[in-house]
Amino acid sequence: MQNKVVFTLHRACRDLGMATIRFNFRGVGASAGGYGEGVGEQEDLLAVLAWLDTLPQRPALVLAGFSFGSWVTASVLARVQAAGWTLRAALLVAPPVTRFPLDDLVLPPVTRAIYGDADEVVDPVAMADWLRRALPAEAVTCLAGAGHFFHARLGELKDWATRCIQNSGVRE
């Protein structure tokens, strides 16, 4: 939740006047529980949406995730839409294609992805290959020279997220 990439995504939404929620998955920081093998973390995200559903009005959602969080986000998109939520954007940052199963996921048209070609955690060639199969070329951004944590590139990441949200064509 305090990761600088996650905080940058939060700032992009906040600066667009959107209410934002950042949360730790189970077992991270001061949160209860332990690692749920990805299934539990999907349940965590869906629990946040269930809480949002108690509000008087459903907002159009921007779901954004970084690394493991992008896999969790991508993994629940079909269920989120099946539950009747409107997705304004789904932002996948440095998806961990070599660590978690992404091949069978069907991503909605509002999905955008970004990665760096100097990623030291996830093989950038593997990310490029998966993204080429999963999304249209115009939905994918590769930042030349950027690593996994976007050191010295957070401004570009924020600008990318802002453009993706503004250009989604979906509003509140």
- The answer to whether residue 128 sits within a structural domain is yes
Question: Is 38 a member of any domain?
Answer: yes
CATH number at residue 75: 3.40.50.1820
For the four alpha carbons of 2, 97, 41 and 14, in that order, the dihedral sign comes to: positive
Q: How confident is the model at residue 29 (pLDDT cuts 50, 70, 90)?
A: low
Average of per-residue pLDDT across 43-47: 87
Task: Tell me the per-residue pLDDT of 144-165, one tens digit each, with 9 for 90 and over.
Answer: 999 999 999 999 999 999 999 9
Rounded Cα distance, 10 and 154, in Å: 12
Total domains in the chain come to 1
- 171 lies in some domain: no
pLDDT of residue 168: 80
Q: Domain containing 81: what range?
A: 4-51+59-166
Reported confidence tier of residue 26, pLDDT bands at 50, 70, 90:
low
Mean pLDDT of 63-90: 93
Question: CA-CA distances (angstroms) from residue 32 to 24, 27, 36, 46, 171?
Answer: 10, 5, 11, 16, 34
If you average pLDDT over every residue of the chain, what do you get?
90
On whether residue 172 sits in a domain, the answer given is no
- pLDDT(41) > 90: no
Q: State the pLDDT at residue 59.
A: 84
Nearest to 91 by CA among 32, 3, 6: 6
Kindly calculate the radius of gyration of the chain based on its CA atoms and give it in whole angstroms: 15
Indicate whether 132 pLDDT > 60.
yes
Question: Is 143 contained in some domain?
Answer: yes
